Amino acid sequence: MKYNLTPLIVLTITVIGLAGIVTTLRAQAQVSQPDPAVESVAVTVTAPTTEVEQQSCVTADCHANVKRHNVLHGPVNVNACDACHTLTDAKTHSYIPAREKADACTFCHVIDTQGATTLHEPVTERDCTSCHDPHGGFDRGFLKGESMSELCATCHQDVVDDKLFVHGPVAAGACTMCHEPHASKNPKLLVETGRDLCIGCHSEMQQQLADVSFVHEPARKDCLACHDPHASDQPMMVKQPTVELCTTCHEQVKEAVSQATHKHSAVTQDRGCVNCHTPHGGDLAKLLKDTPIDLCLTCHDRSITAEDGRIINSVTELADPRLIKHGPIKDGSCGGCHNVHGSDSAKLLVRDYPETFYEPFDLNSYDLCFSCHDQQLVLTPNARGLTGFRNGNQNLHYLHVNKDPRGRTCRACHNVHASSLPLHLRESVPYGKWELPINYRQTDAGGSCAPGCHKPKAYDRDKPVDYKPKSP
């Protein structure tokens, strides 16, 4: 349909890239949906001074942007401008809203707030057009901007900032995956609360936690205790570096590690706590990723150079089925002797234990061993019934250990983890650069050894070997 405008409309068209201004007069204009390419053309027209038909409101010259959307609002699409605008003065081409604020929208659209305890502020202010363009938008919601995230960011600028990792729905601009846009019965307009919100997408985690024996309390109740739902500088969207995050609840561990003279590097470095613990749930107590021995061997299956240059030897003997295991190892517990987080004793031991071959006797030096074994082993010279390592009634533990200054420590004869010999006896013992042989041989009532530290000697519990000096 064509229509005439009186007086003639004078159009001044400035075209980008042209050297000059082209002026032309147009007496007629045909109604059509404007081409987006018109964005590069600046148009000046004289407003009508008489009432015009609504079909003529949107042209290439007048209100061109009203229909420049992917999706048009129904009244706009059918040129029903008077559904929202009321003419007040044709001579001045003046209009007022047909209804005030939200009434213009709720006349057709119903916002369900029943049972809601939280309203979005624009809803409270009855200001629908702060989020919605009344003419159209990039989707059926007629939201302002090019995306949901662009719209929300006009008020919520601090959601992402310049953080390294962005949650998928946030990165995709799908804010309404987690938040109701108008009203909700939950805080922060959330569609669900606690873990229920997260497992709506993370269904594999829901299944994983349903199948395990132990579930981490935050994973049971509220994932947001550990994870930031929008963005984070940490992988997996956790709120803080792992150790800092875990110790916000596990204060005793934090205290133990911070005060320990020797700190376990698995706790303080790399991924920290999750090197050994699963953060969500598992089938082992204390949320361990594996049985203690297998877990320890993920690192200690090879020699490790410590920060101070010390070489920490591998302990592959822990998993060798051919060897006889020390009690705690047999029970599968490295923690029987080692404090897995940190300790004031060397090698993370829970109590003191001599590191050298020779040691002046001090009962406190053997505090670790005597947390299980009877200390009378090294205090009683004669010990029938106390130990099998005796020559008749003579206690050979006492003989070897209870000396000053060159008492033999437990490590001189015993391997603390595992051995191919009974009683965890060593085949050889490190003595500086030399592997000092022991050459132990067991008998029914005793045994013998032929180490490099003395001549071959034997012992017998029933028929003691006589080592008294022979008379000249």
Domain ranges of the chain: 1-98, 194-246, 260-350, 352-472
Percent helix / strand / coil, the chain, rounded to 5: 30, 20, 50
Q: Which of 303, 284, 311, 304 is nearest to 295 (CA)?
A: 284
Give the residues across from 338 on adjacent strands: 349
* pLDDT, the chain, mean: 87
User: For tokens 């349909």, what's the residue?
Assistant: 1
Find the DSSP H helices in 127-179: 148-152, 168-171
Q: Which of 3, 33, 265, 5 is nearest to 135 (CA)?
A: 33
The pLDDT, as a whole number, for residue 44 is 65
Q: What is the largest CA-CA distance in the chain?
A: 147
Q: Kindly report the length of the chain.
A: 472
Whole-angstrom distance, CA of residue 407 vs CA of residue 377: 14
DSSP 3-state of 349:
strand
The pLDDT, as a whole number, for residue 310 is 86
| DSSP conformational letter for 414 | B
Please list, in sequence order, all residues whose beta carbon lies within 8 angstroms of the beta carbon of residue 357, skipping any fewer than 6 positions away.
408, 409, 411, 412, 429, 431
Whole-angstrom distance, CA of residue 420 vs CA of residue 427: 8
Whole-angstrom distance, CA of residue 374 vs CA of residue 363: 11
What DSSP element (H or E) covers 8?
strand 2-15
Whole-angstrom distance, CA of residue 359 vs CA of residue 375: 16
Tell me the helices (H) and strands (E) count for the chain, helix number first: 14, 28
Q: What is the CA radius of gyration of the chain?
A: 42
- Provide the CA 62 distance to its chain's centre, in angstroms: 55
Whole-angstrom distance, CA of residue 238 vs CA of residue 103: 43
Q: Which of 153, 154, 128 is nearest to 142 (CA)?
A: 128
Q: Which residues of 329-363 are buried (b: 16+ CB within 10 A; e: fewer)?
A: beeeebbbbbbbbbbebeebbbbbbbeebebebee
Q: Which of 340, 369, 334, 364 is nearest to 260 (CA)?
A: 340
Whole-angstrom distance, CA of residue 181 vs CA of residue 190: 9
The pLDDT, as a whole number, for residue 9 is 29
- Provide the CA 379 distance to its chain's centre, in angstroms: 52
Q: Are 133 and 65 in contact (CB under 8 A)?
A: no
The pLDDT, as a whole number, for residue 199 is 93
Whole-angstrom distance, CA of residue 270 vs CA of residue 87: 69
The pLDDT, as a whole number, for residue 385 is 87
The pLDDT, as a whole number, for residue 43 is 53
User: For tokens 């070897």, what's the residue?
Assistant: 400
What DSSP element (H or E) covers 330?
helix 327-330
Q: Which residues of 439-468 are buried (b: 16+ CB within 10 A; e: fewer)?
A: ebeeeeebbebebeeeeeeebbbeebeeee
The pLDDT, as a whole number, for residue 320 is 94
Backbone φ, ψ for residue 122 (5° rounding): -60, -30
Which residue type does 458 have? A
Which two structure tokens, joined as six digits, stand for 165? 């990792």
Give 10-residue mean pLDDT values along the chain (472 residues). Answer: 32 27 27 40 73 89 90 94 93 93 91 91 94 92 87 88 92 92 95 93 93 94 94 94 94 93 89 94 95 94 89 93 94 93 94 92 94 94 92 96 93 93 91 90 94 90 89 66
